[in-house]
């Protein structure tokens, strides 16, 4: 169902608004992370992966704070999500902190 919605460009504005609502409602306490930036842009993990030329599991791993981000991927992330390059390390670190908290529970 989501693939069908995402494939129609007429749904882009509504999906972006819905993603922003999800980020602000369910992940507000997380602060600025890759996940919240992605949601605010209205992208699914799959859509962001396609924009970056990578895979959805790679995006999921980055959002969990796993692995290091290559410079080329970092640049593409910043461009796709309209974030400043200097903010990216803080966002990734915040995501790692959140993931560590979840694993301790």
- Condensed to tens digits (0 to 9), the pLDDT of residues 79-103 reads 999 999 999 999 999 989 998 988 8
At 96, which CATH number?
1.10.260.40
Q: Which residues of 7-42 are buried (b: 16+ CB within 10 A; e: fewer)?
A: eeeeeeeebeeebeeebeeeeeeeebbbbbbbbbbb
Write out the residue range of the structural domain in which residue 93 sits: 2-104
φ, ψ for residue 36, nearest 5 deg: -65, -35
Residue 73, pLDDT score: 92
pLDDT score recorded for residue 77? 95
Residue 53 pLDDT:
94
Give the pLDDT of residue 19: 83
pTM: 0.79
Q: Mean pLDDT in the chain?
A: 87
**Domains of the chain: total:** 1
DSSP states of 40-76: HHT--HHHHHHHHTS-HHHHHHHHTT-SPPPHHHHHH
* Residue ranges in the chain whose pLDDT is less than 50: none
């Amino acid at each position: 169902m989501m693939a069908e919605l995402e494939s129609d460009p007429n749904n882009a504005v509504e999906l972006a608004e819905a993603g922003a609502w999800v980020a602000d409602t369910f992940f507000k306490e997380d602060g600025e992370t890759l996940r919240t930036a992605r949601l605010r842009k209205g992208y699914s993990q799959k859509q962001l992966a396609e924009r970056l030329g990578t895979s959805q599991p790679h995006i999921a791993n980055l959002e969990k704070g796993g692995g290091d981000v290559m410079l080329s991927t970092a640049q593409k992330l910043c461009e796709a999500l309209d974030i400043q390059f200097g903010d990216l390390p803080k966002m990734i670190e915040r995501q790692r902190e959140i993931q560590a908290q979840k694993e301790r529970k």
